[in-house]
Structure 1
Amino acid sequence: MKDLIIIGGGGFAKEVLWLANDCNRKVIGVLDDNEETHQSIIQGSRVLGSISSWVEYSDCEFVIAIGSPRTRFQVYEKMLEKGNPQFSTLIHPSVKYSNTVEFGKGAIVCAGTILTVDVKVGNHNILNLNVTVGHECNFSDFVTIAPMAAVSGNVSLSKYVEIGTGALVRQGLSIGRGAMLGMGAILTKNISELAVFAGNPAKKLKELSEI
């Protein structure tokens, strides 16, 4: 198994360093564009330099530990400008899932999460602590689901969707590209792309700019 480098130096990156340790992965360092953090120590790992310097460690694997789907995608695109990095998938040992669940490259699945059957988790998805995912869900790339969210069966999430902490999604729904569902929201109808929904039942608050 190859050595691992964490991309990003924020709070979620600290959690992913802990996750990687539980997965018995050797982390050789962190890359972050905040120059003030360079050579500092985060959760026992040194910040080796900026994200673009990943090419100096091309024999390693990487995970992008940045919660925002949009920012995560921008970092991914920036990395691709310099080559073809190898991305690792991190699944905490406590995660429960059937043999019909598929995980994409670069996905991060945190402790306590449960995925049932016929679930597809896209590339560079983040499923945070204690998320539950029902049968036949299909998540596209760069999706973020915050802690304690519950996604019922047969739900479709398009690219860059973000679901807030403790939100509930009724079965059979779809959430469009770049949309956001707020913390604690209860979703009972489909969400169009780039829309922000919140509340109980969730209602549209505004629209976001293009990705």
Structure 2
Amino acid sequence: MKDLIVIGGGGFAKEVIWLANDCSRKVRGVLDDSAQTHNTQVQGATVLGDVSNWINYKDCEFIIAIGSPRTRKKVLDKMLTFGEPDFAILIHPSVRLSNTVSIGEGSIICAGSILTADISLGKHNILNLNVTVGHECEFADYVTIAPMVAVSGNVKLQYLVEVGTGAVIRQGLELAEGSMLGMGGILTKNIPERLIFAGNPAKKLKEIVE
């Protein structure tokens, strides 16, 4: 198995390195564009330089440990200007999932999560601690789900969707591209593109301006 390079040196990178260790993956180091982090340690892994330096580690696999889906995509786009890196899939050993779950490259599923039947995850998804996902859900690329989220069956999360800690999503709903459900939100209706919903029941809070 190839060594692993973690992209991003923040708090979530610490958790991903821990996850990788639990998966018996050797972490060769970290890449981060913040110059002050270079040659420091993240959970025992040395920050080897900027993200663009990934090309010097083509014998490794990579994982982007950045929670924000938009930032994660920007970092990946930067990496792709230098070539085609190989991305790992990290699934903690405690995760329970059926053999009808498909998972795209670069995705991370953290400890305690449960994924049931006929589920499709796109590329570079993050499912944090203790997330539950019901039957026939479809997640597009760059989806981020924070800890303790409950996603009921037949839910669609589109490109760049983000779901905050402790949120609950009712069966059969769709979160459109670039939308967000805030922490603790109870979603009972669809969210249109680039809107933030929050509350119980969740209602429109504001638009996302990019």
Scaled by the length of structure 2, the TM-score of the pair is: 0.99
1:138 aligns with 2:154: no
Cα shift at 1:138 = 0.2
Matched, 1:68 2:73: no
**Deviations for 1:105-145, whole angstroms, at most 9, x for unmatched residues?**
00000000000000011100000000000000000000000
SS at match of 2:54: helix
2:150 corresponding residue in structure 1: 150
CA distance in 2, matches of 1:176, 1:79: 26
Amino acid at match of 2:102: E
Letter in 1 for 2:7: I
**What is the letter of the counterpart of residue 87 of structure 2?**
F
Q: Please show how residues 12-31 of structure 1 align to structure 2 within 5 Å.
A: 12-31=12-31
Distance 1:189 1:143 in 2: 19
Q: Percent identity?
A: 69
Listed one character per residue, the Cα deviations across residues 51-73 of structure 1 (whole Å, up to 9, x for unaligned) are 00000001110000000000000
Alignment of 1:82-121 (within 5 A): 82-121=82-121
Aligned to 1:122: 122
Separation of aligned partners in 1, 2:160 and 2:209: 12
- Give the match's secondary structure for 2:147: coil
Match of 1:166 in 2: 166
Q: Which amino acid aligns with 2:92?
A: H
| Residue type at the aligned position of 2:149 | A
SS in 1 for 2:29: strand
Residue 80 of structure 2 is matched in structure 1 by 80
In the alignment, residue 186 of structure 1 is paired with which amino acid? I
Looking at structure 2, the residues matched to 116 and 193 of structure 1 have their Cα atoms a distance apart, in angstroms, of 27
Query: Match for residue 204 of structure 2?
Result: 204
The 1-side partners of 2:171 and 2:76 are apart by 31
Aligned length, in residue pairs = 210
Aligned partners of 1:159, 1:89: CA distance in 2, in Å?
19
1:187 partner amino acid: L
Deviations for 1:26-63, whole angstroms, at most 9, x for unmatched residues?
A: 11000000000000011010000000000000111000
* Unpaired stretches in structure 2, ≥5 consecutive residues: none
CA RMSD of aligned residues (A): 0.5
State the distance in 2 between where 1:186 and 1:62 align.
34
Letter of the 1:129 partner, please give it.
Answer: L
- Supply the distance in 1 between the matched residues of 2:128 and 2:143 (Cα, whole angstroms): 11
**Deviation, structure 1 residue 209:** 2.0
Looking at structure 1, the residues matched to 179 and 54 of structure 2 have their Cα atoms a distance apart, in angstroms, of: 30
The alignment status of 1:45 with 2:42, answered yes or no, reads no
TM-score calculated relative to the size of structure 1? 0.99
Once residues 184 and 209 of structure 2 are traced to their aligned partners in structure 1, the CA distance between those partners, rounded to angstroms, is 23
For 2:208 and 2:18, locate their aligned partners in 1 and report how far apart those are by CA, in whole Å.
Answer: 33
Q: Partner of 2:181 in structure 1?
A: 181
Task: Work out the CA distance in 1 between the residues paired with 2:89 and 2:98.
Answer: 17
Alpha-carbon distance in 2 for matches of 1:42, 1:105: 23
SS state at 1:159 partner: coil
Which runs of 4 or more aligned residues in structure 1 lie more than 2 Å from their structure 2 counterparts after TM superposition?
A: none
